[in-house]
Structure 1
């Protein structure tokens, strides 16, 4: 089996990260994860990204009987174009097939380039296939659960949505990526979107505790900003 690092992204050089910054990152990491109880769902939707662990988790959920239908959604981004040249969703499907999921249990949505489109286009694909789910389980990167949930509640409010991700501690995930600074940048970027997207109409509002906001401000001030939206 490929290592966690091999399954996610190439190793990059890392800079010095202080204990205070790591503590802030762990706080934000925990905030991003919702801790939803797993229960049967009409559909499991795996949101495309650089992280092949999403497909692994979705396949595991299928084998555990959580659902009979998987949807993988995602085209490419600049960070996945070389890793998944046929598109994120296509590579996810291939990985799930290799893990024993039957092909007729998998639908592929190959065009989405953002989270809103992941949800909207997956819903349209399901409708065309004759599936109108009452419940959906989203599978995401560990630090994307909350944003995916808030987005789905905005663009698909009728469905009962829950979230899941690969069960990894922050340190394990950062080691797997091979670049802790990049992971901190991504944690900060997703939290910025949780804060800003409701104002833009992309997601429902989420409460951000004061200590989480302080951790975010501290990391932004320390320069963990490569994944922030431009003003």
Structure 2
């Protein structure tokens, strides 16, 4: 049989048998915050360059005068961002026209609590007053970022945002459906586990979210569980 070499390979996608449960978790982690001007934007480091994309876009939209990019490296990011997550985010933002003097880099944080604690310390050292923060993260990290910030930096007003992609577009941007589902499942577990450990404030978890989480774990999506 002849193969048409010009036919594109099918785009990676969520398997049909788990799609409804994945969409349930995807919706849960979106905080649906209305964007408004804040004193500073904070981009949380990860494997997803979309954090830098939305941080750059919102800076140009005038939502904040300062960006802090925060993040070192993790096993999942060192190949893509060998100089560190925050450093690569900064380079992207400068390429897109953000003035270098408007960007602060925090290159040591390896978890969300450190992202926020170290950013807070850096801003204090620069004597930048902060009453409100716009935190940018992966889409499925929004709820955890919000809950963590309210725990470690309770006095600031918090708005959360992500690069506005729907689930299928996000999966295509990452190129690995299983990785996305594993991360969604892991972040869902962390909502309760991290609150129990004192890392974040508690968040309500509806029954349908808990049930979808359980079915996905049972289906083998457990690589990112703690």
Question: Of residues 164, 170, 174 in structure 2, which corresponds to 1:167?
Answer: 164
Match of residue 22 from structure 1: 19
Match of residue 30 from structure 2: 33
Distance 2:21 2:66 in 1: 37
Runs of 4+ in 1 over 3 A off after TM superposition: 14-18
Structure 2 unaligned spans of 5+: 1-10
CA distance 1:206–1:97, shift in 2 (3 Å) = same
Q: 1:15 touches 1:181 (CA, 8 Å); kept in 2?
A: no
Name the SS of the counterpart of 2:146 in structure 1: helix
Deviation by residue 1:151-179 (Cα, 9 ceiling, x = unmatched): 00000000001100000111111122111
Structure 1 unaligned spans of 5+: 1-13
Match of residue 129 from structure 1: 126
Q: CA deviation at 1:182?
A: 1.2
TM-score (norm 2): 0.93
Match of residue 213 from structure 2: 216
Question: Of residues 130, 137, 140 in structure 2, which corresponds to 1:140?
Answer: 137
2:207 corresponds to 1:207: no
2:90 corresponds to 1:90: no
TM-score (norm 1): 0.91
Q: Please tell me the root mean square deviation across aligned C-alpha atoms, in Å.
A: 1.4
CA distance 1:16–1:47, shift in 2 (3 Å) = closer
Rg (Cα) greater in structure? 2
Where do residues 61-80 of structure 1 align in structure 2 (5 Å cutoff)?
61-80=58-77
Q: CA deviation at 1:15?
A: 9.9
Deviation by residue 1:41-85 (Cα, 9 ceiling, x = unmatched): 000000000011100100100100001000000000001111111
CA distance 1:128–1:17, shift in 2 (3 Å) = closer
Q: How many residues align?
A: 216
Q: 2:13 touches 2:177 (CA, 8 Å); kept in 1?
A: no
Name the SS of the counterpart of 1:46 in structure 2: strand
